[in-house]
Amino acid sequence: MIPASKTRYWFGPAPELLLQWLSRQAYSKCFILTDDNTSQHCLPVLLQGWPADRPLHEIKVYAGEQNKTLQAAEYIWQQLTLKGADRHALLINLGGGMICDLGGFAAATYKRGIAFLHLPTTLLAQADAAYGGKLAIDFMNYKNHIGVFGFPVAVISDRQFLKTLPADQVRSGFAEIIKHALLDGKKALLHLSEIQHLQEVDWSPFIARSVKAKLKVTEADPFERHDRKVLNFGHTIGHAIEGLLLHRKANPLHGLCVAAGMIAELYLSHHCCGLKEKTFIQAVSLLRRHFPDPLISEADFAEVLGFLRQDKKNREGEVRFVLLRKAGKAVLDVTVTEEQILEALDFLVSPPDPQPKPVT
Ligand SMILES: NC(=O)c1ccc[n+]([C@@H]2O[C@H](COP(=O)([O-])OP(=O)(O)OC[C@H]3O[C@@H](n4cnc5c(N)ncnc54)[C@H](O)[C@@H]3O)[C@@H](O)[C@H]2O)c1
Q: What is the pLDDT of residues 290-307, one digit of tens each?
A: 999 999 999 999 999 999
Strand partners, 10: 156
Q: What are the helix (H) ranges across 42-198?
A: 43-47, 70-82, 97-109, 123-124, 167-184, 186-193
CA of 36 to the centre of ligand 1 (A): 12
User: Residue 359: what pLDDT?
Assistant: 45
CA atoms of 94 and 71, how far apart (whole Å): 19
Does 232 sit in the ligand 1 pocket, CB within 6 Å? no
Domain annotation covers residue 313: yes
- Report how many domains make up the chain: 2
pTM of the model: 0.95
Coil, strand or helix at 335: coil
Question: Quick one: pLDDT band at residue 340, thresholds 50, 70, 90?
Answer: very high
Q: For the segment 166-201, what is each residue's pLDDT rounded down to a tens digit?
A: 999 999 999 999 999 999 999 999 999 989 899 999
- Asked which of 120, 136, 164 is the last residue of a domain, the reply is 164
- 68 in the same domain as 9: yes
Same domain, 307 and 253: yes
Output the residue whose Cα is nearest ligand 1's atom 16: 96
> What range does the domain containing 62 cover?
4-164
Using the predicted structure, report yes or no on whether residue 58 has a pLDDT greater than 50: yes
pLDDT value of position 84:
97
The CATH number linked to 48 is 3.40.50.1970
Q: Which of 117, 146, 164 is the last residue of a domain?
A: 164
Query: For residue 311, is pLDDT > 90?
Result: no
Is the same domain home to 221 and 100? no
Judge contact between 35 and 63, C-beta under 8 A: yes
Q: What local confidence, expressed as pLDDT, does residue 216 receive?
A: 94
Decide whether any atom of ligand 1 lies within 6 Å of the 121 Cβ.
Answer: yes
Asked whether the predicted pLDDT for residue 258 surpasses 80, the reply is yes
What is the structure's pLDDT at 4?
A: 72
Query: Mean pLDDT throughout 139-151?
Result: 95
Q: Is the shortest distance between the CB of 39 and ligand 1 below 6 Å?
A: no
- The confidence score (pLDDT) of residue 341 equals 97
**Helices 235-247 + 254-272 axis angle, to 10:** 140
The answer to whether the CB of 243 is under 6 A from ligand 1 is: no
Note whether 141 and 39 are same-domain residues.
yes
Residue that finishes a domain, picked among 164, 194, 216:
164
pLDDT band at 52 (very low <50, low <70, confident <90, very high): very high
